[in-house]
Chain A
Amino acid sequence: MSASRLKFGVVVFPGSNCDHDAYHAAKHVMGHDAEFLWHKEPDLKGSDIIILPGGFSYGDYLRTGAIARFSPIMNEVTAFAKRGGVVIGICNGFQILCESGLLPGVLLRNRSLLFSCKHVLIRAEHSSSRFTGAMSAGDILNIPIAHGEGNYFADPDTIRRIEDNGQVLFRYCDAYGEVTEAANPNGSVNGIAGIMNAEGNVMGMMPHPERACEASLGSADGRKVFESLIDSVVTQTM
C-alpha cells in the first residue's frame, strides 16, 4: 500500500446486493483501490479497510445476518478486526457484525413492520472517531435507508455503556438535528442509526453512505463517512 492509496475489500455473500455500490463508491468516487472478496475464500487480499455490504445474505434465513457469520471469510474479518483493522458494516453488514459479536446489540424488525426505503437525516454525534473525523458534532447527513430490520436494540446496561463510551456515532434526526420519535424510521433505542465497538475500529450503520456519494444520486453526504475512514487509515499508516 502506498501512503495515500488504500485498498477496500468488499465482502460478497450470497444475497449481498449493495456490494457494487460500495465498490463504486470506494473506487470510482473516492479514487482508491477496491476488490470483491468472495465469502468462501478466507483471504482479505491485503485490504486496508473491509466493507460488509448491504443485502439479504443467505436470504435472511433464521435471522438477518445469522448465517453469514459462518462464512469462511468471517474468521479472517474477525481476526483483522481484533488486530485493529477497520471494518464497516452497512445495513445487512451491520446485522452481520452484531450476529458475529463484533458489535453489541441486535437489529429487530422495524416497529412499523414495513420495509422502509427512503432518504433520512442522521446526526453525527461527535467527530472523535475514525468514522466521523471529517464531520463536526451535530452535522446532519442526508443518507438513504432500505431495511426491514433496522430497529436497534440492546439491554439497558449495554445501551448505557455504549452511550457513555461515545460509541453511538449516528442518530436519526429531523431537519433541526433533533432526535424525535417522528424522525425515527424503525423504532431504534435512542434513535441509534450507527455505532462502533469499544476499540473504535469496527462500525455498523443502517443508512447507506455508499448510495449517497454523488450529487446526482440525491446526496453526496455519504462521502463524509468514506473521507473520515480513509483519513484515519492513511494517518495511522504514515
Chain B
Amino acid sequence: MTQRRNHQIGTGLFIVLGFAALGYLATQTTSLANYRQGPTYALKARFTNIGQLKLRAPVKIAGVRIGSVSDIQLEPDRLEALVTLAIDNRYNQLPDDSAASVFTSGLLGDQYVALKPGGSPELFKDGDEIILTQSSVQLEELIGKYLVGSGDTPAKKPAEPESASKQGEKP
C-alpha cells in the first residue's frame, strides 16, 4: 500500500513538473511573453506600403517597445494600408505631430513601427490618426530606382554627390 502511495506521489510530481515545463515554454519563450494585456489606446496610421509588417509587430519609440500592431487593413477607396496601433496607456504623452515609419530591425529582421516624437504641445488621443508616415523601404524598389535612375540621366546623378564630396574635400 505504501508502495502504491509512493507511485502516486511520484506520478503527481512528474505531471506537475511536466506541466510546469510546458507552461514555462509556452509563456516565457514565445510571443506570449511580449503580450502585455494592459490597457491600451488606439492610434491609426496610413502607409502606402507596409512591407512585411505583421499583426502584433512591436511599436517602438527610441528603440523601446510601447505597444503593438493590432490591425492591418487595406482601405478600399484610397488603396492604402490602414494600420491600427495599440499603445500602452502608460505612454499617453505623445505629441500629435509625431511621425510613424515602418523599419526593419537589422538587415533582414522583422519589421516594426517606429514613432518619432514631434514638438507639438497637443497630445494624441484614443483613435487619432498619425498624419506623418513613412512607408517601408523596399530593397527591390531601391535597386530598381538606382538602375533606372542611372539609365535615364546618364552620368549626371552619380556625378553630383561626387562633385559635392570633392568640394567638401578641398577646403
- Report whether chain A binds chain B: no
**Using a CB–CB distance below 8 Å, which chain B residues touch chain A?**
none
